[in-house]
Chains A and B, each alone.
Chain A
Amino acid sequence: MSKMIEQMNPRIVALLLLLGLLSVYFLWTLNPVNQTSEAIFALFLSADLVSFSMISYIYRVDKRGDNASRGLLLAGCCMLLLLLLAGLFL
């Protein structure tokens, strides 16, 4: 299992980076003086920060030679999903 997580780490990072880029592009398309747009902006920015935090965590534990905690990664992914869904359905 730990080997699988080790192999998954770079792919998770790539996915998170892609997600970050897409959300930044999406943020540029918003109307900045509308309250709903402000909420979407905040949610996507929040998702970007969570994904940045996950990337940094994976890099840090990888570099130290430890395994990333499955619980933390799962919590991060759930949080990301919630934020993105909330942003899309606002």
Chain B
Amino acid sequence: MASTAESTRRNDQGRLAQVVKWFDSRLGLSYELLRPVPQYAISPFYWLGALAVVAFVIQGITGVMMMLYYVPSPAQAYSSTQYIFRDVSYGRFLETVHLYTAYAMIMLAFMHLMRGYFVSVHKKPREVMWLVGMVMGFVTLSLGFTGYLLPWTIVSKSATDVGVGMIDALPQPLSSFLSFLIVGAGGDAMELLRFYDLHVVVLPAVLLALLAVKMYMLESHGISEPAAGSSLIPQKKRRLVPIFPDVSLYLLELAALFGSAMLLMSVIFPLDLPPEYSPQLAAQYTAQPDWYFLWIYQILKISVFEGAGLPVALSIVTLIFIVLFLLPFIDRGETRTISKRMKFVTLGAIFVTEIAALSVWGLLTPGRIIPDEQAALVLGGTALLITVISVVTYRLFFRRWASGIASSGKVSTPASAPSASMWAAGSFVLLLAVGTFAISSTINALMEMIVQGPAIRSLPSLLLPLTELMLAVAGTMYVLHRLELGSESIKRRIAALR
């Protein structure tokens, strides 16, 4: 009996130790901080999240300057924004930079998320980092949503009304909680004040707190290794560089270049203030959310989701976010290599392409209800195309590369590796851009044909993008083919993907 009790106590201790070990390995409670970073991580792809933080800092600075003049009441919000534009020193510049860095922050956060997805940074031991990062992503989107209303223009108020209107369709108690949080007792004044408070106090504070947690965990776990491990990386690239001054200076350089790009954007595309919101003007205006919510809005515009179907559409969008959030517990396979994760890589590629297609489509069809068959054609067609490309790539090329590398039996490091990989990456980016434009033009041409009816004269506008698309696919296949026949350095890099 005594031995059973002893054994139970040991088991309990063992379980407790396991739990403590799990938390330690995920939260890095006993790890060394400010650890050096491998040389291969001195690349912008490893610091997309850091650039999003730079964007947040720029927004903080420009936002505080605008806070000195902005008045959060429906009667004065627009006039105070107009005052910033017209009378404050460099006011238009501040507004423009604030908006564009917000856009850049959202785009960088999305790129950071998708890069993490494709190279599997969500896997052990970084599951908690992924969860924190996802919450930071939601907060970033909320910052965009709440900030958009503040100028009180016809564009911003109408778009916000569409978003707020969707809250009622959400399931309880989420609907009540969000209504209480952002609308309060109701009325424009209450809504604007709450949006302002959330935008300038609550959400930045939450984001900063989450950032601190994520930075701590980043320091604890260190930079994630390449998907195939670091053994295929040359020794020189694996040497460790200290945080101070090397990595810090590198980040400063990136931040300065990013700031410079934002300033240049503000010169090339200066912001103009749209007219002030009024219910009369709103009746004539087609409400459209900002670009980062367009893909959701486009899903909601599909005719099957109109009216009673709205909760279903919102549930689908919520499900997408939940799946992304819980990804570390869904994609639990040990391997991080891209060539062995066909299912998840294909799903990721479909997700990115569908978001891009829906956003472009939403931009081209403001306020128009999308017929079900059109939606099925575009969304299904895009998914099918990506699946076919992915299956062909995996079945034909990755397998052949694998056998090619296995038969060559050695991995060499010729001096031409950087330029060869740069050319390969450049070709892929170019082909991707051509392919994206071709897909969007094909969708556009197809929609016009469906709306206006098929006609011979509209055939060239469909054939041209289809030819472009075929050329992009053929070009991709050619590049892949050439890569297989290319130097050992390329093969080594492809092996790294495995």
Q: Are A33 and B252 in contact (CB under 8 A)?
A: no
Q: Which 3 A-B pairs have the closest CB atoms?
A: A32-B89, A53-B256, A46-B263
Q: Are B270 and A39 in contact (CB under 8 A)?
A: yes
Q: What 0/1 pattern do residues 234 to 273 of B give for CB contact below 8 A with A?
A: 0000000100011001101100110111011011001000
Name the contact of B245 in the complex, choosing from A46, A52, A60 (C-beta under 8 A).
Answer: A60
Complex CA–CA separation, A64 to B239 (angstroms): 12
Name the contact of B92 in the complex, choosing from A35, A46, A86 (C-beta under 8 A).
Answer: A35
Q: Are A56 and B253 in contact (CB under 8 A)?
A: yes
B90 lies within 8 A of chain A by Cβ: yes
- The residues in A between 29 and 76 inclusive whose CB is less than 8 angstroms from any CB of B are 32-33, 35, 38-39, 41-43, 45-47, 49-50, 52-53, 56-57, 59-60, 63-64
CB distance from A26 to the nearest CB of B (A): 15
A83 lies within 8 A of chain B by Cβ: yes
Q: Are B88 and A43 in contact (CB under 8 A)?
A: no
Chain A residues near B263: list those with CB within 8 A. 42-43, 45-46, 49
Chain B residues near A49: list those with CB within 8 A. 256-257, 259-260, 263
List residues of chain A with CB under 8 Å of any chain B CB: 32-33, 35, 38-39, 41-43, 45-47, 49-50, 52-53, 56-57, 59-60, 63-64, 83, 86
10 A–B contacts, CB within 8 A, in A order: A38-B270, A42-B264, A43-B263, A43-B264, A46-B259, A47-B260, A49-B257, A60-B245, A64-B241, A64-B246
B144 lies within 8 A of chain A by Cβ: no
B87 lies within 8 A of chain A by Cβ: yes
Q: Are A52 and B256 in contact (CB under 8 A)?
A: yes
- The residues in B between 209 and 230 inclusive whose CB is less than 8 angstroms from any CB of A are none
Q: Which residue of B lies closest to A64 (CB)?
A: B246
Complex CA–CA separation, A39 to B270 (angstroms): 9
Chain B residues near A39: list those with CB within 8 A. 267, 270
Chain A residues near B91: list those with CB within 8 A. 33
B397 lies within 8 A of chain A by Cβ: no
Chain A residues near B86: list those with CB within 8 A. 33
Complex CA–CA separation, A32 to B86 (angstroms): 10
B93 lies within 8 A of chain A by Cβ: yes
Q: Are A42 and B266 in contact (CB under 8 A)?
A: yes
Q: Which residue of B lies closest to A32 (CB)?
A: B89
Complex CA–CA separation, A53 to B89 (angstroms): 27
Q: Are A42 and B257 in contact (CB under 8 A)?
A: no
Chain A residues near B92: list those with CB within 8 A. 35, 38
Q: Are B260 and A60 in contact (CB under 8 A)?
A: no
Q: Are A41 and B90 in contact (CB under 8 A)?
A: yes
Name the contact of A46 in the complex, choosing from B89, B246, B252, B264 (C-beta under 8 A).
Answer: B264
Q: Are A60 and B250 in contact (CB under 8 A)?
A: yes
Complex CA–CA separation, A59 to B97 (angstroms): 29
CB distance from B339 to the nearest CB of A (A): 31
Q: Is the interface of A mostly helix, strand, loop or mixed?
A: helix
Q: Are A60 and B249 in contact (CB under 8 A)?
A: yes
Complex CA–CA separation, A28 to B340 (angstroms): 58
Q: Are B256 and A50 in contact (CB under 8 A)?
A: yes
Complex CA–CA separation, A49 to B97 (angstroms): 15
Q: In the complex, which of the residues A35, A49, A59, A86 has the most CB atoms of chain B within 10 Å of its own CB atom? A: A49
Name the contact of A33 in the complex, choosing from B89, B260, B266 (C-beta under 8 A).
Answer: B89
Chain B residues near A50: list those with CB within 8 A. 256-257, 260
Complex CA–CA separation, A64 to B91 (angstroms): 42
- The residues in B between 262 and 310 inclusive whose CB is less than 8 angstroms from any CB of A are 263-264, 266-267, 270
Complex CA–CA separation, A64 to B260 (angstroms): 26
Q: In the complex, which of the residues B91, B241, B249, B260 has the most CB atoms of chain A within 10 Å of its own CB atom? A: B260
Chain A residues near B256: list those with CB within 8 A. 49-50, 52-53, 56
Chain B residues near A57: list those with CB within 8 A. 249, 253
Complex CA–CA separation, A41 to B257 (angstroms): 16
Q: Are B245 and A63 in contact (CB under 8 A)?
A: yes
Q: Are B249 and A56 in contact (CB under 8 A)?
A: yes
**Contact A53-B264, Cβ < 8 Å, known A32-B89, A41-B93, A59-B249:** no
Q: Which residue of A lies closest to B252 (CB)?
A: A56
CB distance from B157 to the nearest CB of A (A): 26
Complex CA–CA separation, A50 to B257 (angstroms): 6
Chain A residues near B257: list those with CB within 8 A. 49-50, 53
Q: Which residue of B lies closest to A82 (CB)?
A: B264
Q: In the complex, which of the residues B92, B250, B253 has the most CB atoms of chain A within 10 Å of its own CB atom? A: B253
CB distance from A27 to the nearest CB of B (A): 10
Chain A residues near B88: list those with CB within 8 A. 33
Beyond contacts A46-B259, A52-B252: 13 other A-B pairs, Cβ-Cβ < 8 A, are A33-B86, A33-B87, A33-B88, A33-B90, A35-B270, A43-B263, A46-B263, A47-B260, A49-B259, A56-B249, A60-B245, A60-B246, A60-B250
Chain B residues near A33: list those with CB within 8 A. 86-91
**Contact A83-B264, Cβ < 8 Å, known A32-B89, A35-B270, A41-B93:** yes
Complex CA–CA separation, A63 to B241 (angstroms): 12
Complex CA–CA separation, A65 to B385 (angstroms): 49
- The residues in B between 64 and 93 inclusive whose CB is less than 8 angstroms from any CB of A are 86-93
Chain A residues near B89: list those with CB within 8 A. 32-33
Q: Are B245 and A53 in contact (CB under 8 A)?
A: no
Chain A residues near B264: list those with CB within 8 A. 42-43, 46, 83
